[in-house]
Homo-oligomer: A and B are copies of this chain.
């Protein structure tokens, strides 16, 4: 009997998963050269499939199976954890009244196009009423869904399951206290890198070859994926045997493609190495935004922007590039590649300043949902905080409060994951050094495979079986902690900029 219900449940979630795989392929296709005129039909087909997925997630059959599984004993790990995922989705999708959710979806789509125009016109007032409505809907949804401790936690839980304001307040306070003065010191340092060679002409065809070579280098399996060019780079896992990466090429800044490819490659390594037993279940993707970001950042920052990596790869770069690096010493190249400077736009920020961009957003979102901040005050608060944290002030809202798309699509609670990615990655690196004290030598000797295997063993293979905090605890024996990241940044940038 209990085997029957497990089997029936797994068949059911497999069907949902198959529809999602078809949708994932359509999403990939839509961004990699699909014909323009096909957009409306594609949207309709996606609508049909997602309506089916939604219907299956809240069906009576799902309800009955979840109830039966709750009573069952001896569930397999896969069934138990899959059940938890489905229960969470069921609760979220049934607690919000359907008509309100439909109105909200329509608001999202309007708000996104209003935001686009407002950003272009630097006109926050235009976007303000929509943002107010988005916040107000989300406040209502939080009431429907319930919350533990702080209302914002319900939103955080959607992106980073189980990581709440208590944790974030603690680690972000620690980060802020140390980063603000460190950023100031770096900005005022006498020693500064010569970045001119980075911007020399680097033909796209050569960058393409370099991107392929570097993806292979970090262990991306081209039998389980492909690399294409898009305007906005991304990685997408259709299933662990089909994980695709895209990148973009700037012929006057090769870092865009090179580091972007490594970043998306890090996401892809995670998805390619998820245990194949999970295929067809809700466990077959990454467990959270933050853990996902930890993998992309690990490869981008701790590998791709590290000196030992470049000791090995610099000749490869020279081989693909023109003559621009012929007279550039490795150490000077490495310094240029890691230039740090306060800047207004989050997605262009370097690793030293990045988390301050996130903390600013976190403080504003948290204030909105506890009711201590009003939407109308966001532009001023944003600009004040930028000045306080990074010493620069936006001249208009387009380069300030309007810069990111997230809020316009109602994605509150998403931003903290980006900073958590840095924090997790640094914690992993520190733990990894206990097992692989020769980390630097591995990079120098082109043995990234050993590093990738360590991450697969401790992170990748689990897919969504473990929650973020479980992964971190199992690796480090500790909770989420900002210290490893702070040590890494302090040491690296003190050395680079010769800070006293």
Contacts and interface: CB of A to CB of B under 8 A. Distances in A.
Interface of A: 14-15, 18-19, 21-22, 25-26, 29, 33-38, 40-42, 44-45, 48-49, 221-226, 238-239, 241-244, 279-280
A34 B242 contact: yes
Given A33-B226, A35-B222, A38-B242, 7 more contacts: A21-B45, A35-B242, A35-B243, A37-B241, A38-B239, A38-B241, A41-B239
Contacts of A37: 221, 223-224, 241-242
Nearest to A44: B18
Which of A35, A44, A223, A224 has the largest number of chain B CB atoms within 10 A?
A35
A41 B226 contact: no
Contacts of A34: 226, 242
Contacts of A223: 35-37
Which of A48, A49, A223 has the largest number of chain B CB atoms within 10 A?
A48
Given A36-B223, A225-B35, A241 B41 contact: yes
Contacts of A244: 35
A415 B65 CA distance: 50
Which 6 pairs show the lowest CB-CB distances between chains A and B? A38-B242, A18-B48, A37-B241, A37-B224, A18-B45, A22-B22
A456 B49 CA distance: 32
A25 B29 contact: yes
B22 A45 contact: yes
Nearest to A243: B35
Contacts of A225: 35
Contacts of A33: 226
20 contacts: A14-B48, A18-B44, A19-B48, A19-B49, A22-B22, A22-B45, A25-B29, A33-B226, A35-B223, A35-B224, A35-B225, A35-B242, A35-B243, A36-B223, A37-B223, A37-B224, A38-B224, A38-B238, A38-B241, A42-B242
B22 A242 contact: no
Which of A34, A37, A238 has the largest number of chain B CB atoms within 10 A?
A37
Contacts of A29: 25, 29
Nearest to A34: B242
Contacts of A280: 44
Contact of A48 (B15, B40, B224): B15
A242 B45 contact: no
Given A26-B25, A29-B29, A49 B18 contact: yes
A459 to B, nearest CB: 21
Contacts of A19: 48-49
Which of A18, A34, A36, A45 has the largest number of chain B CB atoms within 10 A?
A45
A79 B225 CA distance: 43
A279 B35 contact: no
A222 B33 CA distance: 11
A37 B37 CA distance: 31
